[in-house]
């Protein structure tokens, strides 16, 4: 295996370059995140056969410093400068490449320099990829298989770059990638069910831990939510595994809600955890609906338990879609997105019906839960979304609809940076839902702890 020196103070670039160079051109690299350390490696004659460096590190012209040191020592080592911020960029002193994650160009350039043929690289097969939410990645201490990042909007395989090797440590990786704006990592498609099954065992162990509390409980429940979504995305069969994880997740969410005094505190806690849209909606909706049930004249504990169950499952078939398109929210908008294929849009339109049919086979499914799920977008057949909310649906479906609309207002306020005002939110709900039965439900929000 050839060897080189990578000089970069960007942790994610270091991961991605190191793994991909090893995978596709069999180049091992020594990584130095300080220019001073890199220059010492060069002085010791340990830079190897090629040097790759960022054009600038901090305020320092790193490319110039590296080229100068190599020239002073009279070394014959090719130098690749990433980016155009160095005085040696675009000169005969170094190869200049685009910045950041343009792996195909980097690999092709190094292959040419080291005399590696296209045939050599073609022998290393590149798999198709499947998105895994970062919450599921967080369940593992080491990578269960090679993990990849998607670094551009395209769908070609060249857009996916290896970021963690199988059995590589995942300590701190999830937070690091989130800080750079990544919502998912990707795995080879043929391993998706195997990885979800492995994650489910880890999640169950966490959920069964009697000492788990607060935000840790909430995070473990999100992992369970994404695992269940992944399992049901493969098959709508309600397996014992799906039942066990779902039950513990619903119980955990209820336990967290019982500990949180105000709806905004819950929202802030979930935002701090960088919770995904669907799970955020599920937990916040559960909180709001349980408040409504306590306040409304006909509400009961049985109704509250039923809605807790319903909120876990009502959007579960959208989970793989939101995993694939994490920048989207508000499911009603998905059918208008050009990114989604026809089959995905069909799932969006039918997700209420699919979930209602699925829960019928759930052991001890609360009576009427399937009807609430079927009607949770205001239609009676579980297909599509209504703009005219009528009275011909279940009272508990109306509670769910109002609760979700209230949560959407909170999310919109968060996204705009505005402080939500309860009175204004209630007024807007009354404008949107004009039927008397809905307004009675909305009135219950006047007393919510805000």
Order of all β-strands in the sheet with 79-82: 27-32, 2-7, 51-54, 79-82, 95-97
* Tokens, residue 349: 């339109």
220: how many CB neighbours lie within 10 A of its CB? Answer: 25
Residue 407 neighbours by CB under 8 Å, 6+ apart: 280, 281, 284, 285, 288
Residue 340: its pLDDT value, please?
Answer: 87
* Tokens, residue 416: 């705009």
Residue 352: its pLDDT value, please?
Answer: 94
Q: What does pLDDT average to over the chain?
A: 86
Tell me the torsion sign for CA atoms 348, 350, 352, 356: negative
Residue 214: its pLDDT value, please?
Answer: 77
Q: How far apart are CA 352 and CA 373, in angstroms?
A: 6
The continuous run of DSSP H or E covering 7 comes out as: strand 2-7
Q: Each residue of 109-134: pLDDT tens digit?
A: 998 898 877 666 555 555 688 888 88
Q: Each residue of 331-388: pLDDT tens digit?
A: 877 878 888 888 898 999 999 999 999 999 888 899 999 999 999 999 999 998 988 8
Residue 166 neighbours by CB under 8 Å, 6+ apart: 143, 144, 145, 146
Residue 92: its pLDDT value, please?
Answer: 92
Q: Each residue of 13-71: pLDDT tens digit?
A: 888 888 778 877 888 899 999 999 999 999 999 999 999 999 999 899 999 999 999 99
Q: How far apart are CA 189 and CA 131, in angstroms?
A: 9
What's the rounded mean pLDDT across residues 146-175? Answer: 78
Residue 336: its pLDDT value, please?
Answer: 82
Whether residue 154 has pLDDT greater than 70? no
Distances (CA, A) of 25 to 6, 14, 18, 29, 115: 15, 16, 11, 11, 10
pLDDT band, very low/low/confident/very high, at 273 (cuts 50, 70, 90): low
- Which percentage of the chain shows pLDDT scores above 70? 94
Q: How far apart are CA 394 and CA 138, in angstroms?
A: 38
What's the rounded mean pLDDT across residues 319-333? Answer: 81
For residue 142, the SS3 value is: strand
Ordered structural domains, the chain, with CATH: 2-122 (3.40.50.2300), 260-447 (1.10.3210.10)
pLDDT band, very low/low/confident/very high, at 276 (cuts 50, 70, 90): confident
């Amino acid at each position: 295996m050839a060897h080189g020196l990578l000089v970069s103070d960007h942790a994610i670039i270091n991961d991605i370059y190191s793994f991909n160079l090893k995978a596709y051109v069999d180049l091992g690299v020594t990584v130095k995140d300080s220019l001073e350390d890199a220059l010492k490696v060069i002085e010791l004659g340990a830079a190897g056969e090629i040097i790759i460096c960022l054009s600038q590190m901090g305020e320092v012209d790193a490319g110039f410093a590296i080229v100068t040191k190599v020239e002073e020592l009279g070394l014959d080592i090719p130098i690749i400068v990433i980016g155009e911020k160095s005085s040696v960029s675009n000169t005969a002193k170094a190869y200049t490449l685009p910045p950041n994650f343009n792996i195909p160009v980097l690999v092709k350039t190094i292959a040419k320099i080291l005399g590696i043929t296209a045939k050599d690289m073609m022998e290393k097969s590149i798999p198709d990829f499947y998105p895994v939410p970062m919450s599921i990645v967080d369940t593992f201490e080491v990578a269960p298989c090679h993990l990849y990042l998607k670094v551009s909007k395209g769908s070609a395989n060249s857009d996916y770059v290896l970021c963690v090797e199988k059995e590589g440590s995942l300590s701190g990786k999830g937070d690091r990638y989130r800080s750079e704006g990544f919502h998912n990592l990707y795995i080879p498609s043929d391993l998706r069910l195997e990885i979800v099954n492995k994650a489910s065992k880890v999640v169950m162990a966490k959920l069964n831990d009697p000492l788990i509390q607060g935000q840790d409980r909430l995070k473990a429940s999100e992992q369970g939510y994404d695992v269940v979504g992944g399992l049901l995305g493969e098959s709508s069969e309600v397996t014992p595994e799906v039942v066990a994880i779902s039950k513990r997740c619903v119980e955990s969410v209820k336990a967290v809600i019982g500990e949180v005094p105000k709806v905004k505190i819950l929202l802030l806690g979930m935002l701090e955890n960088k919770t995904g849209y669907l799970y955020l909606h599920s937990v916040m909706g559960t909180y709001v609906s349980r408040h409504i049930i306590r306040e409304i004249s006909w509400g009961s504990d049985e109704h509250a338990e039923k809605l807790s169950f319903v909120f876990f499952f009502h959007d579960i078939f959208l989970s793989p879609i939101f995993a694939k398109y994490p920048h989207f929210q508000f499911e009603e908008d998905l059918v208008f997105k050009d990114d989604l294929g026809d089959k995905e849009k069909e799932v969006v339109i039918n997700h209420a019906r699919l979930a209602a049919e699925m829960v019928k086979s759930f052991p001890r499914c609360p009576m009427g839960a399937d009807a609430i799920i079927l009607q949770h977008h205001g239609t009676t057949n579980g297909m599509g979304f209504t703009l005219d909310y009528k009275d011909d649906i279940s009272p508990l479906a109306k509670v769910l609809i109002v609760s979700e609309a209230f949560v959407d207002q909170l999310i919109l306020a968060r996204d705009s940076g505005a402080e939500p005002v309860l009175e204004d939110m209630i007024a807007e709900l009354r404008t949107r839902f004009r039927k008397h039965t809905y307004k009675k439900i909305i009135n219950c929000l006047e007393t919510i702890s805000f």
